[in-house]
Amino acid sequence: MPPDGGAEGRGAAGRGGAEPATSLQRVIEDAASAAPGGPAPAHAAGPPLRVAGSAAEPWPVQGCGCVTCRTSPARSPTSSPTSTPTSTPAPTALAVGSALLSRGVVTAPGTVRTLTAGEGLLVGDVRLAALPGPPGAPPAVVAGWTHGPDVRTVLWAEGPGDLADAAVDALAGAGLDALALDLRGPGGAPEPRRLAHALARLRAVDAVAAGADVVALGLTHDLHPGVLATRLQRWGARVAANGSSLPASSPRPVPTPTRTLVRGPASSGKSALAEDLLAAEPSVLYAATGPLPGTADEAWTRRVAVHRERRPSWWATQEAPDLPALLATPGPPLLVDSLGTWVAGTMDAARAWDDAPGWREQVEDAVDAVVRAWRQARRRVVAVGEEVGWGVVPAERGTAAFREVLGGLAQRLADASEQVLLVVAGRALELGATP
């Protein structure tokens, strides 16, 4: 659907090229000397950091019949931050050796220390540095320690709300090995796409190393566990088992097919899913193929407003795009929404609805150009297409022609795609290569 105005090349996520307020190296160095009297338990052999828990609200909740509570095993009262990793939910906390970091407070035997932004703490061999957090939330904390000849760095960003701009600035160029990001909005409600947008902002300033481990925090029983796991996987993130190492022992590759075709009937959630696929990208170009919103069609204007609100401010937009030219141009990922409005516009230009002489040849030439460019795409592209072939054959000639053109285009694009998804009720089914 057509979004707000913009142009390709608008700033990516992050701070629009602003210089970082503080380098991560300086942050870690400050932490080393900040509190020599703080807790200093030596961590046991192995990774010094473990995810003690990632739930904002542990479950199952007594008396709740939701799918998450009904399918979750009961929590063990004897589990500890350093016990064998388990999948049962526990309150959000990070184990640093035998100390525990939760809600900005470091607790160790005989010591409790509350971190505030700008402060640092040495816990065993791990240096902690506190960065500004969202309003009303704990500070974001960076942990750093030596690992052979290298320094490993992890961001623990617990609490609802967006990452503070100052924290993003401080992390510019950090190349973090792992990130634990909260997926709750400012009001505390779980909004998984917020995690993806935080990841996009950090990637835009080179704060995330290739293959970095990304863990979700702030989980609640409101989130269907299977649906959440699928969405996180799209962004290269995961739900960490209690007691698991951070970062994980092996990197998590992010699947990035060059060409993805997303199909579905009206109001199936196909556009939202297509946006989800690119939500963690630091820069996206949105190709709006439909008509501009206006007072003549209030329903269309409302739909456009909903689509605009879902997208982050750093996505660029191009109205009435030349699709073959965009596909042939290297650049950030491209989201085309939708093929149906593009076909309708192409048929309008050829006066197909009036059965003008030569309209079919003109439309077929335009379709051929898009298919050729799609096959040789020079950028990652996700295209949304309406599924219009499940009803009866339309009696009206123009409508039947539209269905024929759109259906043929979809088949040809599917044949040239690495990934084809069918969306129904907001759920995606991946269609294999078998015809």
| Catalytic machinery residues | 307
Look-up of token digits 């285009």: 409
Cis? peptide before 247, omega within 30° of 0: yes
Under a CB-based contact definition with an 8 Å cutoff, are residues 319 and 288 in contact? yes
CA distance 109 to 127: 18
Q: Which two tokens stand for residue 325?
A: 């030219």
339-349 vs 359-375: helix crossing angle, rounded to 10: 140
Under a CB-based contact definition with an 8 Å cutoff, are residues 213 and 172 in contact? no
- Under DSSP, is residue 364 helix (H, G, I), strand (E, B) or coil? helix
What type of residue is 428? A
**What single string gives the DSSP state of each residue in 125-170?**
TEEEEEE--STTSPPEEEEEEEETTEEEEEEEE-SSSPPPHHHHHH
Pairing of strands 49-53, 244-245: antiparallel
Look-up of token digits 């192995």: 46
Under a CB-based contact definition with an 8 Å cutoff, are residues 217 and 192 in contact? no
Could you tell me the sign of the dihedral formed by the alpha carbons of 99, 105, 109, 111, in that order?
A: positive
Residues 6+ apart with CB under 8 A from 220: 55, 56, 57, 59, 184, 190
Under a CB-based contact definition with an 8 Å cutoff, are residues 128 and 143 in contact? yes
Under a CB-based contact definition with an 8 Å cutoff, are residues 85 and 241 in contact? yes
Could you tell me the sign of the dihedral formed by the alpha carbons of 59, 60, 63, 68, in that order?
A: positive
Hey, what's the torsion of the CAs at 183, 185, 188, 192, to 10 degrees?
-30
